[in-house]
Structure 1
Amino acid sequence: MDSIRYVELSTATLPLATPISDAKVLTGRQRPMTEIVFLFAQIRTEQGFEGLGFSYSKRAGGPAQYAHAREVAADLLGEDPNDIAKVYTKLLWSGASVGRSGVATQAIAALDIALYDLKAKRAGLSLAKFLGSHRDSVRTYNTSGGFLHAPLEEVLARADESLAAGIGGVKIKVGQPDQREDLRRLTAVREHLGPDVPLMVDANQQWDRTSALRMGRAFEEFGLVWIEEPLDAYDAVGHADLARALDTPIATGEMLSSVGEHLALVEHRSADVIQPDAPRIGGITPFLRLAAIADQAGLDLAPHFAMEIHLHLAAAYPREPWVEHFEWLNPLFEERLETVDGRMVVPDRPGLGFTLTDQARAWTTDSVSFGAR
């Protein structure tokens, strides 16, 4: 029997080298993204085992996540770290007045992920192996080179760099006010890559139903792996109608923050590819619950962002998945993930296999601890 004796929370702000724009910026709904705010949780037990987890927020919500985590983290003290599901439920009830989605569960996610990291480390296994992996590597595609702030020439150059680095596919952003510009960029990228390189597009929820159908039909000739977020994330019926009308698979789910919200996508057959985000959905505990439902429904899986976590979860999914490659988080961690022959290799390091850098600590803006170190 072991018990949790110490919890440390910290929040850090990672600056982005270039302001990032997708269709939400070009349509006037958001400002360019200049930073990402992280919530880190470090947990230590009486027997000396440690775990690291994190959650994050883009543009807004980071301080709220940190504030909620500070309110509930002390309830971990004295609990058996083996009982992750029990602890998760306790944390949900600790913050029950603010609900079971959004900021509340995103704050809990960092703690839940840290507990899984700890448990896998104690077993001496990577998290993927601990969960029961189906594969030792996962198909991967790059997103960070395909944003709309980048001129076409840069997008093409970044695509070449990704493929040369062993990344298997490329995703570019679409959804601009001028739909002809989307077609121009997509045509150029497909011609540059050739017909055999996996290619995805992401509209970031910026089309209405009519535009999504029109653009989806225009995109059929490009042989896309999927069209991502063509409609508002909560429009399950619209996504379902679109999925039935098009040959190109539909992918969505990254913006949803609970299993319950994802269930509408499953029940309506709104997507061919479901894209949950473990830090957003509330951690690994709810992610695994959703993954079982998605597999039973015959859905493919492509988790959003945070490859450091999602590589392990994708490796444990029964159906051949994809994992999204972003290099943005590299300054936070001492270790790197390997990409070979179009796939991301699951590291054999115990747990998630990551430790924080001095730079991550330098970017820390606040921290708090509970219990005895």
Structure 2
Amino acid sequence: MTRDTIVTADVSHVILPLNRPISDAKVMTGRQRPMTEISLTFVELETREGHRGMGFGYVLRAGGKAQYAHALELAPFVIGEDPNDIPKLWDKLAWQSASVDRSGVAVQAIAAFDTALWDMKARRADLSLAKLLGSYRDAVPTYNTSGGYFGTPIEEVCANADRSIAKGIQGVKMKVGQPDLKEDIRRVTALRNHLGEDVPIMIDANQQWDRDTAMRFGRAVDSLNLTWIEEPVGAHDHEGHAWLNARLDTPIATGEMLSSTRELQQLIDNRSVAFIQPDAPRIGGVTPFMQLVPRAADAGIKLAPHFVMEIHLHLAATFPTEPWVEHFEWLEPLFEERIDIRDGCLQVPTRPGLGLTLSDQARHWTVAHDTVSGH
């Protein structure tokens, strides 16, 4: 039997505008400007037999043009290849990018191809991606982040939390890390008092503290029964996270800013976290993410992937202990489908693959597109 091969790779650059500027602690401390849009690179693959798959990567702030340009460079290397050879193709694309390392923009461009290949494989099997990979559950607990950013008065944060819970979302996350530590503590305490003891609350400092400041904050809020404190120190400070994780009652979470499984493995090896937060589009896609899953599970570390619930819901469903998935509605306009929320959980789609179809609006927001094809 003649094997199927990839004949077309469509690569698109999409700029998704946000409804309002978004600010976290990095803006409050002057390190970044408010975020007004999200840059995405979409890859759509088609084979000689007509099978299709779609994947994407994203960039917050600078780097989107570089990600798209690198994806265009990689596209010719999948033409003529068997789409079932996913690890082989990941390695092939990584070797093309060897001089710019297996991290950062290089692997983030690969992620769009890798995810498209997995989406195609699951579609061919008429299974959701979660079922293809081997899922433990059909629904995953979720918490909302978009309602707790800076620039939002605490009264509005509380109202946003109420709306999230009314939608069936289980927990909420609020941003901290502003220069005034007392104001952070005041806001967190107000949210806990508003929601009561039973609603899970996560706190995210976005790397804005040194170790001593993080310790002071952690000790001040240890009695508030927080689910975790996220990124209290620099993303690459594995030792600092481990030091805090060993000394605070509140669990520590981090990992979203790391762009390779090698860096995430250091968090596991150092016991730096109670919750590890890998981001599949940032570390190279489904393939490296699924390599990390058993390592974290074996170490007794819990899973809470960062952003992109549209992909991470499927991957989190394969984790042996109950994970968390972050709810953001930001990417919803890009797709025709919606993820169901019920009883505090995101319901894993039963549609084949990722279960996603690009919307007409996504096509409207496309600022660049190219097709690479072969025979």
What TM-score range do you get, normalising by the shorter chain? Answer: over 0.9
Question: Does the aligned pair in 1 maintain the 2:79–2:374 contact within 8 Å?
Answer: no
Whole-Å separation in 2 of the counterparts to 1:21 and 1:126: 35
SS of corresponding position for 1:38: strand
Describe how 1:202-221 pairs up with structure 2 within 5 A. 202-221=204-223
Counterpart of 2:73 in structure 1 is 71
Counterpart of 1:307 in structure 2 is 309
Deviations 1:287-339 (A, max 9, x none): 01111211111110000000000000000111110000000001100000011
Whole-Å separation in 1 of the counterparts to 2:285 and 2:162: 34
What is the TM-score with the length of structure 1 in the denominator? 0.99
SS of corresponding position for 1:90: helix
SS of corresponding position for 1:367: strand
Match of 2:365 among 338, 363, 366: 363
Describe how 1:150-161 pairs up with structure 2 within 5 A. 150-161=152-163
Match of 2:141 among 120, 124, 139: 139
SS of corresponding position for 1:366: strand
Counterpart of 2:98 in structure 1 is 96
Counterpart of 1:273 in structure 2 is 275
Describe how 1:219-368 pairs up with structure 2 within 5 A. 219-368=221-370
Whole-Å separation in 2 of the counterparts to 1:244 and 1:297: 15
Deviations 1:320-370 (A, max 9, x none): 100000000011000000111100000110000001111100100001111
Structure 2 spans left out of the alignment, 5+ residues: none
For 1:25, the aligned partner's letter is V
1:177 matched to 2:179? The reply is yes
Q: CA deviation at 1:171?
A: 0.5
Q: CA deviation at 1:372?
A: 5.0
Q: Name which of structure 1's ranges 147-156 and 343-352 shifts more when overlaid on structure 2.
A: 147-156
Counterpart of 1:80 in structure 2 is 82
What is the TM-score with the length of structure 2 in the denominator? 0.99
Counterpart of 1:56 in structure 2 is 58
Q: CA deviation at 1:151?
A: 1.2
Whole-Å separation in 2 of the counterparts to 1:36 and 1:20: 11
Whole-Å separation in 2 of the counterparts to 1:369 and 1:91: 18
Counterpart of 1:8 in structure 2 is 10
What is the root-mean-square deviation in Å for CA atoms of aligned residues?
A: 0.8
SS of corresponding position for 2:264: helix
For 2:174, the aligned partner's letter is I
Counterpart of 1:24 in structure 2 is 26
For 2:104, the aligned partner's letter is G
Whole-Å separation in 2 of the counterparts to 1:62 and 1:150: 27
1:113 matched to 2:115? The reply is yes
Whole-Å separation in 2 of the counterparts to 1:123 and 1:263: 32
Whole-Å separation in 2 of the counterparts to 1:95 and 1:245: 41
For 2:11, the aligned partner's letter is L
Q: CA deviation at 1:154?
A: 1.3
For 1:208, the aligned partner's letter is D
Question: Does the aligned pair in 1 maintain the 2:9–2:44 contact within 8 Å?
Answer: yes
Deviations 1:59-96 (A, max 9, x none): 11100101111111110011111110001000001111
1:164 matched to 2:150? The reply is no
Whole-Å separation in 1 of the counterparts to 2:23 and 2:40: 20
Whole-Å separation in 2 of the counterparts to 1:183 and 1:210: 15
SS of corresponding position for 2:169: coil
Whole-Å separation in 1 of the counterparts to 2:194 and 2:340: 25
Whole-Å separation in 2 of the counterparts to 1:129 and 1:72: 29
Whole-Å separation in 2 of the counterparts to 1:292 and 1:64: 32
Whole-Å separation in 2 of the counterparts to 1:79 and 1:154: 52
SS of corresponding position for 1:70: helix
SS of corresponding position for 2:372: strand
Q: CA deviation at 1:146?
A: 0.5
SS of corresponding position for 2:114: helix
For 1:38, the aligned partner's letter is L
SS of corresponding position for 1:263: helix
SS of corresponding position for 2:36: strand
Deviations 1:7-43 (A, max 9, x none): 0000010011110001110011110001000000000
For 1:218, the aligned partner's letter is A
Whole-Å separation in 1 of the counterparts to 2:158 and 2:240: 32
Deviations 1:239-282 (A, max 9, x none): 10100001111000000000011111111110010000000011
Structure 1 spans left out of the alignment, 5+ residues: none
**Structure 1 runs of 4+ off > 6 angstroms?**
none
SS of corresponding position for 1:10: strand
